[in-house]
Amino acid sequence: MKIDILTLFPEMFDGFINTSIIKRAIEKGLLEVNLINFRDYSPLNNKQVDDTPYGGGSGMILRCEPIFECLDSIDTKDAYIIMLSPEGTKYKQSVAKRLLEHKHLIILCGHYEGFDERIKTRVDEVISIGDYILTGGEIPSMAITDSIARLIPGAITSKSLEDESFNSSLLDYPTYTKPSVYRGLEVPEVLLSGNHKNIEEYRNISRIEKTKRLRPDLMEEDHE
């Protein structure tokens, strides 16, 4: 899979692409991540990419030209173009799975007060990672890239994927490791029993109870 990220701050991604699962996926040839500074495509002498809004208002708006020109240079027949914006579809695991079906993703990271509305004519989908304000789209683009990279066959073990939260409508079951007792806090006895059938039953029940307690909305969504 190829992911092109259009950003004004490619240096923010240095640690992201050079550590952990993303780094390993790139080294294995499973994932290609390109960081493209769309300031380089500005037609203005000073390389400005934003300007004041028509009709007045606060803040600065990202101009059409640098983003259109940048997209013209990297767009392919397989490309699926994503704009990151608070007004977009809420991102969740089912969206990550759907995006994995595309061979080439292009992610537009916003900044300032947002995009010139005309840029949306080049976009296939607008996505939001949550109802809160961030300085730009860099962190959301990392979240999306990471969540998709984990799903690429070979990036991590299939067993790890099966057991993770959100791969069904349930959260993950509670997990424990050594020591079995710490400061009076004990690991559930069933997990120490070696009885795999009982352990699986305990974990299934725990997932349901945990989801009902912490994220009942997930179970409601599953029945819509």
Which tens digits make up the pLDDT trace of 132-159? Answer: 989 999 999 999 999 999 999 999 976 6
Domain termination residue (choose one: 156, 188, 206):
156
Which run of H or E residues covers position 189?
none
Residues 61 and 117 in one domain: yes
- Domain-located, residue 88: yes
Which tens digits make up the pLDDT trace of 200-210? Answer: 999 999 999 99
Q: Say what percent of the chain tops pLDDT 70.
A: 93
Question: Do residues 107 and 146 make contact, with C-beta atoms less than 8 angstroms apart?
Answer: no
Domain termination residue (choose one: 156, 188, 209):
156
- Domain-located, residue 175: yes
Residues 45 and 90 in one domain: yes
CATH of the domain at 203: 1.10.1270.20
The phi and psi torsions of 161 (rounded to 5 degrees) equal: -65, -40
- Single pTM value for the model: 0.86
Average pLDDT taken over every residue of the chain: 92
- Domain-located, residue 162: no
User: Which residue in the block uniquely carries the two structure tokens 């725990």?
Assistant: 206
Domain count, the chain: 2
Rounded distance between C-alpha atoms, residue 157 and residue 143, angstroms: 20
Short-list 3, 76, 79, CA closest to 36: 3
User: Which residue in the block uniquely carries the two structure tokens 């934003």?
Assistant: 50
Q: Give me 44's structure tokens.
A: 């203005």
CATH of the domain at 132: 3.40.1280.10
Query: What is the secondary structure of 78-137 as a DSSP string?
Result: TEEEEEEEEEEEEP-HHHHHHHTT-SEEEEEPP-TT-B-GGGGGG-SEEEES-SS--SSS
How far is residue 222 from each of residues 94, 166, 207, measured CA to CA in Å?
11, 11, 15
- Domain-located, residue 163: no
pLDDT computed for residue 39 by the predictor: 97
Beta strand ranges found along 159-214 (DSSP E): 181-182, 185-186
Q: Give me 186's structure tokens.
A: 């004990």
pLDDT score of 161 more than 70: no
Residues 209 and 141 in one domain: no
Q: Which residue range forms the structural domain that includes residue 174?
A: 168-222
Residues 135 and 63 in one domain: yes
Which tens digits make up the pLDDT trace of 2-59? Answer: 999 999 999 999 999 999 999 999 999 999 999 999 999 999 999 999 999 999 988 9
- Number of neighbouring beta carbons within 10 Å of residue 120: 15
Which tens digits make up the pLDDT trace of 70-106? Answer: 999 999 999 999 999 989 999 999 999 999 999 999 9
pLDDT grade for 169, boundaries at 50, 70 and 90: confident
pLDDT computed for residue 157 by the predictor: 78
